Amino acid sequence: MPAVVIAKPDDEIVDLIDRVRSSADPDVGLVVPGSSRALQTPLNVRLLAQFSHQSGRRTSIVTEDPRLQQLARASGLPVYGSVPAFERGIELAGPRGGGSGAARVVTAGAAGMAAAAVLEPPPAPPPAPPPLSPPAHAPATSRLEPRRVITQLPPAGRPPRGSDRRRFLYIAAAAIAIIGILLFMALAPSAKVTITIAATPLSVSSTIQGTTNPAAATAADHVLTGVVSTSASSQFTATPTGTKTLPAVAAKATLTFSTDAPSDISFTLPVNNPSSQVQSADQSVTFGPTRTSVICIGPQNPPPTSSNCGTSPYNATAPYVDLTAGANGNVGSGTLTLWQGDPCPNPLLCPGIHISVTNNSGASGGTDPKQVTAASATDVANWTSQVTTVEAQLSSQMQTELVAHAAGKPLAKDPAGNGEATAFVVTPQPFPPAVGAQFAAAQVTVKGVAESAIYDNAAVHNDIIADLDKLIKPGDVLAKGSLTTPPCAVTQANVNGTVILACSATAFSQPQVNLNGLKAQLTGRNPSKAQAIVEGNVAKVQGVTVSEWPFKLFYLPLRASQIDIVENFVAPATKSP
């Protein structure tokens, strides 16, 4: 059954909305006296109509005030002239007014008959209108559903002067009101409700271990780590500016000895002894032993096992060198055949025998003095600086590449620098050469290799949250936005992926709050009632602050999406002893 709600003269629009909201029946007849202040502006009437539409209610205005009737009808609200008319469903089709020209007639379409129904006795009743006849084409036996229609009959005689102009003004005012309401809805202010809550403080200090073993990483306070690596290289040309003179080098040859002795013989070739020296046939070059050598030869080469050489092994060759350095000593094979003396003058060891000597291969390696390029002190200093600069550039490049390969995961490096490794190789070797060393212009290549252990910040964060969850009491939740997690410190790291992190976090826990439900209860309410509403839904509230932007109204937004709830958390105050 429709409910009748009576407004008070000093009610505000918020109070009227509260009265309609509190009605048990969605069909509400709001009786508004002419002295009411709440619905004197088109905006307030539009707000009431908007609330009724959004809440699914049918709110009707019951009033005798012609201006309020016009405002309500422009906002789409049904209008009734009195409570009996509302209860009987007799709705006004036009604004009521006094005078001799005002009257309303009720027609019933079911029987094709019309009768005048006077809601309120006018000052001067007009003449009764003629009865309405049914349409000519409608059969007399047609069954139509009865419908009540109230029409305002024009006063007898000439219409009042300026009525067309007033009608135009009404239409223009209604259009402006609609445009204003649309603009208001588009630019409606938003509200922020800040709630300070006494919550339970939480804190943890966790040691997180990182490993490349997927099975071990599933344990508590363990995360899966990885290793990334990269390489880079750069080249430059090293051109020496110094010179040096290389001394002459003596040629070397291997001499082979033979004998016509009937049995094995053995003798020693001492160094720097003329008797051991051998010349070419023209005596232009002279070679001597490079070291003391023992020669053991016989009629057979090699001699039989029962050699007379004693403990000395069979040896028919000895290394010789040109006694005069230079390219002149590079003689051909079979050139060195002339003894300077008797290599075996002992008659007991070599009794009347002949010892032959020759070089089966040509002597080689002899060079004359020549001037060559060499590394000066300035060259070595510049090259050292250049290598250092290139290594620094490559280090920066490889560091950037390591970060890119890590794909957002931090590089693990402990205070001692472990966890990252960078190595360089410079070719040719050795480089840079020693000051004064012979060095030809060369292409120098500096190649670097870098690698680093990495870990997953998200996995570390999840472990910290898991540690905090262990501290939350049953029925409580982690307070949204209260978590503070300083960056973890890498205490140990290794390029094999082993990482140890020292992490800490602080937060608050609180009973769970239905923020969407709280917003719904705050919509359209007076800001002064916000604290009571919040305290009725949230435990341990320490304070509530309401702010509206860009301007302040005497009610909160009618849409929950325009209300933002911010929670601040503080530790509970300790009671003094």
**Residue predicted with more confidence, 241 or 127:** 241
Do 5 and 62 meet the contact criterion of CB atoms below 8 Å apart? no
Q: Strand (E) positions, 134-283?
A: 148-152, 190-198, 200-211, 222-238, 242-246, 252-259, 265-269, 278-280
Sign of CA dihedral 260, 261, 266, 269: negative
Mean pLDDT score, 404-418? 94
3-state secondary structure of 539: coil
Q: pLDDT digits over 279-294, tens only?
A: 999 999 999 999 998 8
Mean pLDDT score, 240-264? 90
Amino acid identity of residue 272, one-letter, is N
Which pLDDT belongs to residue 121?
40
Q: pLDDT digits over 510-538, tens only?
A: 887 888 889 898 998 888 888 899 988 88
> Which pLDDT band holds residue 59 (cuts at 50, 70, 90)?
very high
Mean pLDDT of the chain: 82
Q: Is residue 214 pLDDT above 60, yes or no?
A: yes
Contacts of 204 (CB under 8 A, 6+ apart): 464, 467, 468, 471, 504, 505
> Which pLDDT band holds residue 574 (cuts at 50, 70, 90)?
low
Mean pLDDT score, 13-21? 88
Which pLDDT belongs to residue 495?
93
Q: Estimate the crossing angle of helix 515-522 against helix 530-537, to 10 degrees.
A: 150
What is the number of alpha carbons within 13 Å of residue 232 lying toward its C-beta?
17
Q: pLDDT digits over 175-189, tens only?
A: 888 887 766 655 567
Global pTM value:
0.50
> Which pLDDT band holds residue 548 (cuts at 50, 70, 90)?
confident
Which pLDDT belongs to residue 153?
43
Q: Is residue 36 pLDDT above 90, yes or no?
A: no
Least-confidence region, from 121-130, 227-236, 532-541:
121-130
Contacts of 226 (CB under 8 A, 6+ apart): 212, 409, 453, 454, 455, 497
Q: Which letter, b or e, does each residue of 397-426 get, where b requires 16 or more Cβ atoms within 10 Å of its Cβ?
A: ebbebbbebbeebbbbebeeebbbebebeb
Q: pLDDT digits over 82-110, tens only?
A: 888 888 888 887 654 443 333 333 333 33
> Which pLDDT band holds residue 163 (cuts at 50, 70, 90)?
low
Which pLDDT belongs to residue 94?
62
Q: Is residue 134 pLDDT above 60, yes or no?
A: no
> Which pLDDT band holds residue 140 (cuts at 50, 70, 90)?
very low
Q: pLDDT digits over 438-460, tens only?
A: 999 999 999 999 999 999 999 99
Structure tokens at 210: 């990182």
Which pLDDT belongs to residue 309?
63
Least-confidence region, from 23-27, 368-372, 499-503:
23-27
Do 231 and 398 meet the contact criterion of CB atoms below 8 Å apart? yes
Which pLDDT belongs to residue 325?
95
Which pLDDT belongs to residue 142?
37
CA neighbor of 185 nearest in space, from 74, 298, 50: 50
Q: Is residue 468 pLDDT above 80, yes or no?
A: yes
**Residue predicted with more confidence, 35 or 380:** 380
CA neighbor of 80 nearest in space, from 91, 67, 64: 91
Q: Is residue 125 pLDDT above 80, yes or no?
A: no
Which pLDDT belongs to residue 184?
64
Best mean pLDDT range from 138-147, 205-214, 468-477: 205-214
Which pLDDT belongs to residue 162?
52
> Which pLDDT band holds residue 341 (cuts at 50, 70, 90)?
confident
Mean pLDDT score, 471-500? 90
Residue 15: DSSP 8-state: H
**Residue predicted with more confidence, 470 or 159:** 470
The span from the CA of 554 to the CA of 189, in Å, is 11
